[in-house]
């Protein structure tokens, strides 16, 4: 089965986790998070219900390390070992996404007041 169905369903749910090994996440230590993720999944007794896949770019390069959890998808970013442990305990074990590690786009620049249209005379 693939997907949580409330609390009871989440107990049985299967998840697929995509951890980014892309060119921007790798220098941010995403590869070092794989053994952390594998160990946390094993420690929580989820090895038969969680599939872990090292993937290419997840298209959130400025926010890496990136990880997607399916079903969802739920997008996690700026991950650390602490984040991985918490996501495994709360999301993958209990079915509760961990809001503090969710992807949140940064404001790239403050809003700029719109210009008045130019009027050209002939
Ligand atoms: S390299 Fe990881 S999101 Fe692009």
Q: How many CA atoms lie within 13 A of 75 on its CB side?
A: 11
Residue pair 43/8 in contact (Cβ under 8 Å)? The answer is: no
pLDDT tens-digit readout, 69-111: 999 999 999 999 999 999 999 999 999 999 999 999 876 545 5
Does residue 60's CB lie within 6 angstroms of at least one atom of ligand 1?
A: yes
Does residue 25's CB lie within 6 angstroms of at least one atom of ligand 1?
A: yes
Q: What separation in Å is there between the alpha carbon of 105 and the centre of ligand 1?
A: 14
Q: How many CA atoms lie within 13 A of 18 on its CB side?
A: 18
Does residue 57's CB lie within 6 angstroms of at least one atom of ligand 1?
A: yes
- In the chain the domains, ranked by start, together with CATH numbers, are 15-101 (3.40.30.10)
pLDDT tens-digit readout, 18-29: 999 999 999 999
Full-model pTM? 0.78
Does residue 22's CB lie within 6 angstroms of at least one atom of ligand 1?
A: yes
Categorize the per-residue pLDDT at 40 as very low, low, confident or very high, splitting at 50, 70 and 90.
Answer: very high
Mean pLDDT score across all residues of the chain: 85
Contacts of 9 (CB under 8 A, 6+ apart): 3, 95
């Amino acid at each position: 089965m693939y997907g949580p169905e409330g609390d009871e369903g989440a107990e049985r749910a299967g998840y697929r986790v995509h951890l980014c090994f892309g060119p921007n996440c790798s220098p941010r230590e995403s590869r070092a998070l794989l053994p952390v993720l594998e160990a946390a999944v094993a420690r929580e007794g989820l090895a038969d219900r969680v599939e872990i896949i090292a993937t290419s770019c997840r298209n959130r390069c400025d926010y890496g390390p990136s990880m997607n959890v399916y079903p969802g998808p739920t997008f996690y970013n700026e991950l650390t070992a602490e984040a991985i442990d918490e996501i495994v305990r709360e999301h993958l074990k209990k079915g509760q996404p961990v809001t503090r590690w969710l992807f949140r786009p940064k404001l790239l620049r403050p809003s700029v007041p719109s210009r008045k249209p130019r009027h050209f005379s002939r």
